Chain A
């Protein structure tokens, strides 16, 4: 580091202090979440996660209906988004010309750049009426015998949340899957084609199979995004604390209940229960993210020389 005079030492100390502040902030985030949810932990313990009564009047709080809402809306989003995202990723890595690639990458970044609240606005005034008037009655007519499609089509419901989320996580899943596909070595593809495989068979054997872990990582990353997504979901999901198998039924998620009720939480226990939900979100998303990154990293680095 050259000869250290006072100014040099000062500069290095300043960077060290900055790094320490970053570190302290993150640790503090964790500590505050735990501290603020302490009251709820001592009152409800882990029972919190398996009871569904959420009633501020009698001060009973259980998060089960929100966990259910988060899980189902996110899974629904994956169900819609994964096939399309993988299609886009394959299109980009196997078919598209350089020009087309650039064009689609701009489209993706525009889609990813739309703020959550605008997705919500669009969901309320464009998506929900279409769902209510056309898509949901149509689904009911054909699949009405299934429990998932029963009840009054309402438009602002679990299905709306799933669809909005699926649009929002598509850029994430497709761009990461594309990177993973592109890390598959060329010679695997050529070997496939040389054996007489059609293009799709080659993709199935050489690309998808090799990239499987990384794709699962990309999907988990999308799942993490979907679970943490707040505004758009809050605006379209209807915010009802009930567990219903029907996708036409309004619901609520872990994130949406914080957004909706935090400002009106009057008692300490109420606030603490909401912080506990925040802590849950924190843990779930962090674990999903770490898991996803390990999977993606292990695939993309495998073939790097």
Chain B
């Protein structure tokens, strides 16, 4: 009898934890949607922030800034990451896997666990200090590094999943090695690699800590990529800890927009993954 009761209690607790997590998500998302919608206006998308003390204005520069930063990071991180993935996949399929590739694999694993704030101060020391100013370049350098492990690992794994026979068939037909890799292997692995890239993009879109001392934020349009630039998460942070009610409202609006963008990216990556399977 006692055993049965314990069994029932434990089963109940297990079910409860499943319900609890749904409940927590609901509360968080509920607040973001409710507070976000009530604070959102057209101005939010088309106006610059107003000077301190004035009510109104928007975050158009931060929204654009975020896209610029993510685009710049993707531009350098994707080629490096995918090609590193090709290198790792190729060296593991060759007769004698090099020590270098196992070291690199280990280091990428290490990198994926490094807190993003640490990547931020690294980018600061490497780029902001020598240039003597905050810049979009420094921000996207930091974001790109955060993307690197995810992109490289998915690229490596997706390339390895391409059946060996395809590669051999292509080579046997006399197609060059590089053309085989580029047009056949990478093309077959493309949906998987794309999913990895999108997951990485969804993550860096919301990253704040690595941008604090690199992109820095800007209440105006950025003049060049070599100067400070606004980003949506940075702006949300600055407004959330400010003492003004109007800014708090805008922070909620920003949060809603940010989370919609992030979820959209996750949604697309899931769609691609499902279609691919």
Contacts and interface: CB of A to CB of B under 8 A. Distances in A.
A115 B148 contact: no
Interface residues of B, number: 88
Nearest to B94: A1
Interface residues of A, number: 89
A48 B112 CA distance: 27
25 contacts: A2-B176, A8-B176, A12-B90, A12-B177, A19-B83, A29-B119, A35-B125, A85-B17, A107-B25, A110-B29, A111-B21, A113-B202, A122-B28, A125-B240, A125-B252, A126-B31, A199-B11, A200-B7, A201-B3, A228-B113, A228-B116, A229-B115, A230-B208, A255-B115, A274-B121
Interface of A: 1-2, 4-5, 7-8, 10-12, 14-19, 21-23, 25-29, 32-33, 35-36, 83-88, 90-92, 94-96, 104, 107-111, 113-122, 124-126, 167, 170, 174, 198-201, 203, 224, 227-231, 235, 255, 258-259, 262-263, 274-275, 278, 281-282, 285-286, 288-290, 293
B81 A22 contact: yes
Contacts of B90: 12, 15
B110 interface: yes
Interface of B: 3-4, 6-7, 10-11, 13-18, 20-22, 24-25, 27-29, 31-32, 35, 79-84, 86-88, 90, 94, 100-101, 103-104, 107-119, 121-122, 124-126, 145, 148, 152, 171, 176-178, 180-182, 202, 205-209, 212-213, 233, 236-237, 240-241, 248, 251-252, 255, 258-259, 262-263, 266
Contacts of B208: 115-117, 230-231
Contacts of A11: 177-178, 181-182
Contacts of A167: 24, 28
Given A95-B14, A115-B262, A84 B21 contact: yes
Q: Which of B7, B17, B241 has the most CB of A within 10 A?
A: B17
A293 B18 CA distance: 25
A104 B209 contact: no
Given A26-B110, A118-B206, A91 B213 contact: no
Contacts of A275: 121, 125
B237 A25 contact: no
Given A117-B233, A201-B3, A285-B113, A15 B83 contact: yes
A181 B125 CA distance: 43
Given A23-B103, A113-B266, A285-B115, A14 B121 contact: no
Interface-central residue, B22, B118, B236, by most chain A CB under 10 Å: B118
Contacts of B94: 1
State the majority secondary structure of interface residues on A: helix
Nearest to A119: B28
B107 A26 contact: yes
B259 A118 contact: yes
B263 A262 contact: no
A138 to B, nearest CB: 18
A281 B117 contact: yes
Given A26-B110, A111-B24, A115-B206, A235 B118 contact: no
A229 B251 CA distance: 20
A167 B20 CA distance: 11
A200 B14 CA distance: 10
Contacts of A258: 117, 121
Contacts of B213: 262-263
Contacts of A120: 237, 240
